[in-house]
Amino acid sequence: MSVDFEECDKCEESKYDEYVGRCGGEMGQTGCGKSLCTNCLINDDIDSSYAYEYGTRFDGTPEQLESFELSGDDYNIGDMIDDTGIDPKYCPYCSGKEVHDDEILEFLLNDNGVTREDIKQIILDKRAKAKK
């Protein structure tokens, strides 16, 4: 038996994989896809620190059965549906509470009309000058 770790894109800490999920998950939810640990989620209406509390609970409605492509025999009412991921409303990026470092970099590059390759070359040139 092995222990798997996942890195949170917000705090950059590695945690047990059951405490880290992806925004939007794998079930067709729209979201940014960032990995987030339970400590970094926006938690306005859920009083829990466990990842499974952020998923979707089975309610047995025909809409949910169709949406998640489930058969009613797989789950009991109230069970957590596997692999639902993190609802984007709990994501600090999708909710507009935080800005990811990648977005900051892209903004700065685009705002100044500079490409990543330009910046890489500037850094490499500075390193070369420093070694002389």
Residue 87 or residue 10, greater confidence: 10
The tally of domains found in the chain comes to 2
Displacement of CA 36 from its chain's centroid (Å): 4
Range of the structural domain that residue 124 is part of: 99-132
Statement to judge: residues 75 and 19 lie in one domain: yes
- 30-79 pLDDT, tens digit per residue, is 788 898 888 888 765 544 444 455 556 778 888 888 877 777 677 788 77
Statement to judge: residues 104 and 86 lie in one domain: no
To the question of pTM greater than 0.85 for the whole model, the response is no
Statement to judge: residues 113 and 94 lie in one domain: no
Statement to judge: residues 62 and 21 lie in one domain: yes
- 76-91 pLDDT, tens digit per residue, is 887 766 555 677 888 8
Q: Say if residue 2's pLDDT is above 70.
A: no
SS3 assignment for 49-89: CCHHHHCCECCCCHHHHHHCCCCCCCCCCCCECCCCCECHH
